[in-house]
Chains A and B, each alone.
Chain A
Amino acid sequence: MKILVIEDEVKTAKFLKRGLSEAGYVIDVAADGLEGLHLAQEVDFDLVILDVMLPVLDGWQVLARLRETEQKALVLMLTARDAVHERVRGFELGADDYLVKPFAFSELLARVRSLLRRSTPRPQDAIRMADLEIDLLRHRATRAGQKLELTSKEFTLLTLLARRAGEVLSRTLIAESVWDMNFDSDTNVVDVNVRRLRSKVDDPFPVKLIHTVRGAGYVFEAEP
């Protein structure tokens, strides 16, 4: 998977390149709009991560010209402005997703993954991880054969974590996916909910599945 990052801020470009490379993507970086546009027209990228504020050509111009050509690359816009009309404009010009600075890298990675996911995940009936089993049809979870008494929201939260095992999920993303709280809400509420879920899913068992990534969010994986 090839990704082009068009970003003039050196440090931002640097951490994007590093983080995305470590996540298994091939990254090219362009420092201004024109250079980025040329690169995107010469090489077939799967995704272009495009900053709005760019020298020479700004992000909007790059996006418009990209959409004029045969380029099929997906575009993820990065901007420091989250005014709604900006967002709308981005989608009108053919952006596929939109992220506001400052963003959590885990959030960016999650969006990149969902954009590049070739096929929609086939509907599963059950998820298994270590001795945890989630029955998605009957809305039941068991661990080591014991039924876990979960509220419906706890079940949804557990399912979300388990479906995206190995990904760091930010508190904002969790609040949005489980409780439909689509704004930067009071995220320590997420901590409380995860802690309660843990007390039922992890505490009674030796193998811990839900892990805190300090400052970033939560990740679901069986301890090695």
Chain B
Amino acid sequence: MSSKPSRSAWPALPPRRTLAFRLSAAYSLAGLLLVILATASLYIVLRTELDRSTELFLADKLHVLRTMLRERPDDEDALREEIELESQARRYQQFYIRLLDEHGVPIMTTPGMTEQLDLAELVGRTSSRSERSIAMAGRHGQPFRITGATVAVGTPATHSDTVQIAIDVSQEEELLARYRLWFWGILLVTSILFPLVGYRIARHGIRPVEEIAATARRITSTNLRERIASQGYPLELESLAGTFNEMLGRLEESFERISRFTADIAHDLRTPVNNIRGEAEVALARSRTVDEYRDVLESSLEESVRLSELIGDLLFLARAESPLTELHRESVNIGELLTTVRDYYEASATDAAISLVVNDGTERFNAQLDRSLMLRAVSNLVSNAIAHTPPGGTVTLAATNEDAAIRIEVFDTGVGIPAEALPRVFDRFFRVDPSRSKSSGGTGLGLAIVQSILTLHGGSAEITSHLGRGTRVMLRMPAPAIATR
């Protein structure tokens, strides 16, 4: 039906798979269907109208003759004029009339009727069905509509005659034939035109899509900065391009974060390795005392421990992101968990002159969670809180049992975190104050680990902070808590 586009937008794909092809095929099919429907219905209307006018003409003639034979059966002149001359006067629409008496003997016949029509056939055909027009072919193959009727003669009727009328409908047939020719012509033209025009339109509409695809193909990790210029696109495609650009933005951001992360890892690994290497090289450059050797060995052991911890944390983060990681949930008493953490850090807090308390309001309830992971998360928070709270301050641990969710909070009266740093505190290796963590020995992964632990539990970690007033971290997780007596 529709022609295949010769140029395919994506040479790798068969043309049937392209959107332009599908669209133009759909346009063409729809257009052609409409054209066929319109022309065919016009044709049918025309045909019925022509048939009806023929029928009316025949009925009309019959009516005239019937009236004449009933009212003035002896007015032969009038009859003759009606039967023999009326038809003669016409040029295009030829009709023929025969009048037969009750014995079937012709009384009057329109001249030329015998050579146009096989009269025997005419009699045979009209005898059975009176007053209905039927199609019949003439002697020269021309189409006729014929009808016959029995007509009462005189008032009151003395006897009845038979009237037979035949009308040559070749004019109408020719008109219809011309119409049909037009019809096929229109169909041929539109079936060529529609696919071409449709394809042009579709291609034009799809061009932005191709531009988006081309941009996507161009983009690699090295030029994630590139964006699609979507000015002048239709609304739907503009939104597609916009969405695509947003995705690129997110990718770029993740990519930068990973790059930074990798650089940070390299840097954080480099320092201890550099220390081990340098100290060992210097130690071996000349002979040393036993104590000096011991010092180097101890130092390298310290650095190795640092490395081990860092690697452990990195592995933990990597594993937490794997979908295969499974939690070992058990029933854990939240109050006891917080107390465990408090006991562990109590000495550190006392040293720093900070009071570390578990909130009185903390309910004693059990929840299904991974104890050692949650212990780790809360410990990281407490460790941070103690590190950033000046002497005389307080670090508080609290837990609340909400409906179908539990909330663990750690808040301090410490130095707080500047607002601009707040969104990034959960990032790996992010340090609010890069200089201080080195000395406190943190890997800069503490909060990232907290977040991944909460993610594993299907929960979230949120942080709020006011400079100089303190920081509050909230751990929320959906865990049906089981109240304990």
Residues of B within 8 A of A215 (CB): 298-302, 304-305
B370-387 with Cβ < 8 A to chain A: 372-373, 375-376, 379-380, 383
Instruction: Establish whether residues A193 and B347, one from each chain, have CB atoms under 8 Å apart when the complex forms.
Output: yes
B303 smallest CB distance to A (angstroms): 8
B444 smallest CB distance to A (angstroms): 13
Residue of chain A at shortest CB distance from B349 = A192
Instruction: Establish whether residues A184 and B344, one from each chain, have CB atoms under 8 Å apart when the complex forms.
Output: no
Q: How far is the CA of A85 from the CA of B373 in the complex (A)?
A: 16
In the complex, the 8 A-B pairs of residues with the closest C-beta atoms, listed nearest first: A215-B301, A214-B298, A179-B344, A102-B308, A215-B302, A193-B347, A186-B383, A192-B348
A49-96 with Cβ < 8 A to chain B: 82-85
Would you call A189 an interface residue if the criterion is a C-beta within 8 Å of the partner chain's C-beta atoms? yes
A85 smallest CB distance to B (angstroms): 8
Q: A82-B315, A184-B309 are in contact. List 13 more A-B contacts (CB 8 A).
A: A85-B326, A102-B307, A179-B340, A183-B372, A184-B312, A185-B344, A188-B348, A189-B348, A214-B301, A215-B298, A215-B301, A215-B305, A216-B301
B272-330 with Cβ < 8 A to chain A: 298-302, 304-305, 307-309, 311-312, 315, 319, 326, 328
Which A residues lie at the B interface, using CB under 8 A? 82-85, 102, 104, 153, 175, 179-186, 188-189, 192-193, 196, 214-216
Residues of B within 8 A of A192 (CB): 347-348, 351
Q: How far is the CA of A82 from the CA of B305 in the complex (A)?
A: 17
A191 smallest CB distance to B (angstroms): 9
With contacts A84-B326, A183-B376 taken as known, whether A189 is within 8 angstroms of B311 at the C-beta atoms is no
Interface centre among B302, B319, B346, B383 (most CB of A within 10 A): B346
Instruction: Establish whether residues A175 and B344, one from each chain, have CB atoms under 8 Å apart when the complex forms.
Output: yes
Q: How far is the CA of A86 from the CA of B307 in the complex (A)?
A: 23
Instruction: Establish whether residues A179 and B343, one from each chain, have CB atoms under 8 Å apart when the complex forms.
Output: yes
Residue of chain A at shortest CB distance from B322 = A83
Instruction: Establish whether residues B347 and A196, one from each chain, have CB atoms under 8 Å apart when the complex forms.
Output: yes
B47 smallest CB distance to A (angstroms): 82
Residues of B within 8 A of A182 (CB): 372, 375
Q: How far is the CA of A85 from the CA of B327 in the complex (A)?
A: 11
Residues of A within 8 A of B307 (CB): 102
Residues of B within 8 A of A188 (CB): 348, 441
Instruction: Establish whether residues B344 and A189, one from each chain, have CB atoms under 8 Å apart when the complex forms.
Output: yes
